[in-house]
Amino acid sequence: MTKPQWLLELEENGYVVVPNVIPQASCDQFVESSLQWLESFPHGFKRDDRSTWDEAHLPSGHKGGLYNRYSVNHEAFVWKIRTEPGIIKVFEQIWGTEDLITSFDGLNVSLPVNPKTGRTDISETVPWPHIDQNPRKVDRFEL
């Protein structure tokens, strides 16, 4: 069986973007649900008011928009993301098995804070590249 190009790129580069894995309507709903979740807190965050896109108006989180408190890991929309068929299919191909398990550690909501969005009074949102795997593990199939 021939490997898809994206899997070859993953093996070559250690990362890959696989487009069109989730239907656009599902992506839109995930964004909507995450923004509703942020607005559900009593801190005054409003998606349409960029002056509220700061620490004072958001729930306590971790660097880079990571939220791992408030039982967010068990919100219905987070479970739906984990069970999205396109995501499952990609990971089945990566690991070569249908016997998968997912993490329950959190959710990332990175608001696009930068000069292009009109917020110049606070630090720009910067990428937070990291891995959640053992960096000494050379082969992803190694046990």
pLDDT at position 54 = 82
Looking at the predicted structure, is the pLDDT value of residue 141 above 60? no
Residue 69 backbone zone (phi > 0: left; psi -120 to 50: alpha; other: beta):
beta
Q: Is residue 8 part of a domain?
A: no
Q: Is residue 18 part of a domain?
A: no
Looking at the predicted structure, is the pLDDT value of residue 109 above 70? yes
Q: Is residue 66 part of a domain?
A: yes
Q: Using one digit for the tens of pLDDT, what is the confidence trace for 27-64?
A: 999 999 999 999 999 999 999 998 888 888 999 887 77
pLDDT at position 2 = 86
Number of continuous H segments (helices) and E segments (strands) in the chain: 4, 2
Query: 33: which 2 tokens?
Result: 């649900």
pLDDT class of 143 with cuts at 50, 70, 90: very low
Nearest to 21 by CA among 4, 38, 8: 4
Mean pLDDT of 94-108: 87
pLDDT at position 130 = 61
Average pLDDT, the chain: 84
* Residue span of the structural domain in which 119 resides: 23-143
Stronger pLDDT, 32 or 123, i.e. the higher one: 32
Count the domains in the chain.
1
Mean pLDDT of 74-80: 93
Contacts of 38 (CB under 8 A, 6+ apart): 45, 47, 58, 59, 109
Output the pTM of the full model.
0.78
Most confident of 84-88, 103-107, 113-117, 122-126: 84-88
Q: Is residue 89 part of a domain?
A: yes
Q: Is residue 9 part of a domain?
A: no
Q: Is residue 4 part of a domain?
A: no
Q: Is residue 7 part of a domain?
A: no
Q: Is residue 102 part of a domain?
A: yes
